[in-house]
Amino acid sequence: MSVTPLEADGAIRLQYEIEQFLYREAALLDDRRFVEWLELLDPELEYWMPVRSTRALGDEAHEFARLGEGAFFDDDKASMEQRVRKLATGFAWAEDPPSRTRHNVSNVRILTHGDGLIELACNFLVVRTRLANDNDLWSGQRKDTLREGENGFTIVKRHLFLDHVNLDSKNLSSFF
Amino acid sequence: MDNTIANAAAGLVDLERGTVNRKIFADPDIYREEIERIFARCWLYLAHDSQIPNAGDYVNVFMGEEPVLVCRDADGSIYAFINSCRHRGNKVCRADGGNAKSFQCPYHGWTYSVRGDLIGVPGHADLYSEELDRSKWGLPRVAQVDSYRGMIFATFDPEAPPLLEYLGDIRWGLDMLFEQGDLVAVPGIARWSMNVNWKFASDNAIGDMYHAFWSHRSAMLSGHGSANGQASLKSLQPSLNNGFTMVTKYGHGFNANFIDESTLDRASPLTAWRFDPAVRARLGSLRGRVNRANMLIWPNLFVNTGSREFMLRNPLGPAKMGIWKTILVDKNASPETQRMAVRASNRHFGPAGMFEQDDGENWDQSTLAAQSVVSQRYDLNYAMALGHGEVVEDGASPPRIDTLTNENAQLWMYRVWAEFMAAGSWPELRATIEQPRGTL
């Protein structure tokens, strides 16, 4: 594949901007700046984490539930706003005292780019510790669609494909 | 089975005082007896009929701690057997579900039919000299399997009463769910696990209308349920007379709150069944007024008739429990209506559910607090409304208590738990166990 220097510069620049956006977003979550994080979510947000099951070789198509089936998250912008409001009520027991999280984003690949939309795939690794002894490690692949706006990117789609079938966690009260 | 341990355990529930000793949520020996006397004895929920519609369809489930394969045979009948090869014990199928013609153990290749019969042994002629009687080495079948309105149950105990007798009066409650439509299981079972003794989840299911207002306060205040947070919160205000409670002989029960018809969204397709005259006629006036019932099918299935879920809580140790959540939808509803129902359930229950994330937190803490020696000297209090739970037998329903918020049902559950622990067998249990009567 041959590219002109200008095209290569553009691709590198886009990769850089997107990675910086994803890192800033992860930092907002780790710092519990959830109201600011909400601003990154597009009004048309589709935020989805399907459940998964173990299937025999050849039956992988049935591993992940489809949209409209069983999911851990099946949310839109309004319901994400509810989740954030919940945390601030003073009665959100799963997050009071707050969990400590570390959001790691890696292997960022831009899949498509056009019409102001960028589809990307990346890996996520979220570490959650809570109270004295709770330790959770959630990993998986993420497929995001970002919209390029005047004020930067917004997240239109976030599809989270966990590496886990059984979540050994008493709750999933963190954001991804 | 150890009678000394089991009898001592049964004594840890004090029905006069309404207290339960914390040891029963922590002690490994008591847990072991529970597995024998409750989980190896009761009818347990396995799956919904719609999950295995075709010949060869199977799901891998658990009955207590036992891995069990549930399969549909070519003639449409259902077989359930322990998923453990008779040769070295390995699972003969390691997928959660699918379709199979037979199951072949990965270790040495022993092969079983979807009925669990041993149909192939490599080297049967030369290595075993045909001396292995394959008819005697099939996968161990459950003692009985049966279903109620699509819910498949099985028991390991040949002496267990028939399923319909076991369910008894709770069928009246379960029908509140099944009258809502032709319900099928939505693909995608949410599975998660936590450091929780299974009984805390069961006692929450059978009759804890006290916790909702406080445990789930943040969800309501944030606008989950309705845009008006204060109004939704008010709907959970613990009250005596806004519903009723039911307990049954074998430990099933529910609490049901009445609907406020003025707040009902009549335009929502999710509530359309309420206005179907045929459904109203079948449900009658009492059940027709029910908004939602939280129900326990003893010992470990939580049924929610409001958002239509089965939540199976399997014991994984004295302080460990796995939850499997199955959503049900009306198969005749439009795709949009089904989507709406699934979305609502996904957001409500499950580890990330607006309600359930806080349940996990609280049950974890209850379980943790049951572990230490000195704390175990201080019993837990299940005495709310003790001595006030008048059992009404007026023919409008099976025996019920006409209050919504009480701990009568929870204490009843521990009473049944103690009966199961003390009884040596099903015949003994059937001879001694009593219907709820008088005042609880």
Q: Which residues on chain A place their C-beta less than 8 Å from a C-beta of chain B? A: 49-51, 53-56, 59, 62, 65-66, 68-75, 79, 82-83, 85-87, 89-94, 165-173
d(CA B210, CA A76): 31
**Residue B438 covered by a domain:** no
Final residue of a structural domain among B91, B117, B148 = B148
**pLDDT of residue B237 exceeding 90:** no
CB contacts < 8 Å between A and B, how many? 145
Query: Is-contact A15 A110, C-beta < 8 A?
Result: yes
Query: Is-contact B50 B328, C-beta < 8 A?
Result: no
B359 as an active site residue: the answer is: yes
Q: How long, in residues, is chain B?
A: 440
* Residue B112: burial class (beta carbons within 10 Å; 0-12, 13-18, 19+): buried
Pair B222, B324 in one domain: yes
Question: What pLDDT band is residue A3 in, cutting at 50, 70 and 90?
Answer: low
> For domain A5-162, which CATH number applies: 1.10.10.60, 3.40.50.2300, 3.40.50.11030, 3.10.450.50?
3.10.450.50
Q: Which residues 6+ apart lie within 8 Å of B415 measured at CB?
A: B13, B15
d(CA A47, CA B47): 29
Q: Which residues 6+ apart lie within 8 Å of B257 measured at CB?
A: B209, B242, B243, B290, B291, B292, B404
* Partner residue opposite B190 with nearest CB, options A70, A75, A171: A70
Q: Which residues 6+ apart lie within 8 Å of A116 measured at CB?
A: A147, A148, A149
What would the pLDDT profile of A66-110 be if each residue is shown by its tens digit?
A: 999 999 999 999 999 999 999 999 999 999 999 999 999 999 999
Q: Are strands B400-401 and B391-392 parallel, antiparallel or unpaired?
A: antiparallel
Q: What ranges in B118-216 are assigned the alpha helix state H?
A: 163-167, 170-178, 198-207, 212-215
Pair B130, B245 in one domain: no
pLDDT, mean of residues A4-16:
83
CATH code of the domain in which B231 resides: 3.90.380.10
Q: Residue A82: closest CA among chain B residues belongs to which residue?
A: B222
Pair B143, B231 in one domain: no
**Cα dihedral: B257, B259, B260, B264 (round 10):** 140
Give the pLDDT score at B225: 80
**Residue B159 covered by a domain:** no
Q: Are strands A152-162 and A41-50 parallel, antiparallel or unpaired?
A: parallel
pLDDT, mean of residues B390-414:
97
Give the pLDDT score at B239: 85
d(CA B183, CA B308): 9
How many other C-beta atoms are found inside a 10 Å radius of the C-beta of residue A96? Answer: 15
Burial call B34-45: b when 16+ CB within 10 Å, e when fewer: beebbbbbbbbb
pLDDT, mean of residues A8-30:
95
d(CA A117, CA A18): 12
Residue type at A10 in one-letter notation: G
What would the pLDDT profile of B359-381 be if each residue is shown by its tens digit?
A: 999 999 999 999 999 999 999 99
Query: Is-contact A109 A121, C-beta < 8 A?
Result: yes
**pLDDT of residue B385 exceeding 80:** yes
Question: What pLDDT band is residue A5 in, cutting at 50, 70 and 90?
Answer: low
**pLDDT of residue A43 exceeding 90:** yes
Domain count, chain B: 2
Pair B101, B247 in one domain: no
| C-alpha distances out from residue B428 to B5, B164, B388, Å | 18, 19, 30
Is A56 in Cβ contact with B191 (below 8 Å)? no
Tell me whether 0.90 is exceeded by the ipTM. yes
d(CA A82, CA B216): 13
Touching check for B105 and chain A: CB below 8 Å?
A: no
Q: Are strands B243-247 and B190-194 parallel, antiparallel or unpaired?
A: unpaired
Global confidence as pTM: 0.96
* Partner residue opposite B360 with nearest CB, options A66, A83, A170: A170
**Residue B98 covered by a domain:** yes
Q: Which domain covers residue B83, as residue numbers?
A: 44-148
Pair B346, B379 in one domain: yes
Residues of chain A found within 8 Å of residue B346, distances taken between Cβ atoms:
70-74
Region class of A93: left (phi > 0), else alpha (psi between -120 and 50), else beta: alpha
DSSP string, B87-119: TT---S--SSEEE-SEEE-TTT--EEETT--EE
Q: What are phi and psi of A17, to 5 degrees?
A: -65, -40
* Residue A90: burial class (beta carbons within 10 Å; 0-12, 13-18, 19+): exposed
Residue type at B63 in one-letter notation: M
Catalytic residue among B2, B96, B108, B388: B108
Write out the two tokens for B235: 């709907």
Pair B411, B315 in one domain: yes
Give Cα B278 to chain centroid, integer Å. 29
Pair B32, B51 in one domain: no
Is B364 in Cβ contact with A70 (below 8 Å)? no
- How far away is chain A from the Cα of B246, in angstroms, using its nearest Cα? 29
pLDDT, mean of residues B35-61:
98
User: Could you tell me the end-to-end alpha-carbon distance of chain A, in angstroms, rounded to an integer?
Assistant: 35
**pLDDT of residue B267 exceeding 90:** no
- How far away is chain A from the Cα of B356, in angstroms, using its nearest Cα? 8
- How far away is chain A from the Cα of B361, in angstroms, using its nearest Cα? 5
Burial call B12-22: b when 16+ CB within 10 Å, e when fewer: bbbeeebbbbb
Q: Are strands B102-104 and B111-113 parallel, antiparallel or unpaired?
A: antiparallel
Report chain B's mean pLDDT, rounded to a whole number. Answer: 96
Give the pLDDT score at B233: 83
pLDDT, mean of residues B121-129:
98
Catalytic residue among B117, B157, B175, B211: B211
Residue entry with tokens 């996904």: B346
Give the pLDDT score at A42: 98
Is B95 in Cβ contact with A55 (below 8 Å)? yes
Give the pLDDT score at B289: 94
Is A68 in Cβ contact with B338 (below 8 Å)? yes
Q: Which residues 6+ apart lie within 8 Å of B400 measured at CB?
A: B244, B245, B246, B391, B392
Q: Are strands B380-381 and B66-72 parallel, antiparallel or unpaired?
A: unpaired
Pair B227, B106 in one domain: no
Pair B107, B253 in one domain: no
Pair B33, B50 in one domain: no
* Partner residue opposite B221 with nearest CB, options A54, A71, A91: A91
**Residue B155 covered by a domain:** no
d(CA B360, CA A104): 25
**Residue B333 covered by a domain:** yes
**Residue B367 covered by a domain:** yes
How many other C-beta atoms are found inside a 10 Å radius of the C-beta of residue B222? Answer: 23
Residues of chain B found within 8 Å of residue A79, distances taken between Cβ atoms:
224, 347
Pair B375, B419 in one domain: yes
Pair B218, B349 in one domain: yes
B224 as an active site residue: the answer is: no
pLDDT, mean of residues B118-147:
98
Give the pLDDT score at A1: 53
Is B219 in Cβ contact with A53 (below 8 Å)? no
Which among B282, B276, B292, B177 has a CA at the least distance from the CA of B242?
A: B292
How many other C-beta atoms are found inside a 10 Å radius of the C-beta of residue B335? Answer: 9
Residue entry with tokens 């572990």: B371
Touching check for B50 and chain A: CB below 8 Å?
A: no
CATH code of the domain in which B115 resides: 2.102.10.10
Give the pLDDT score at B266: 83
Which among B416, B418, B127, B191 has a CA at the least distance from the CA of B298?
A: B416
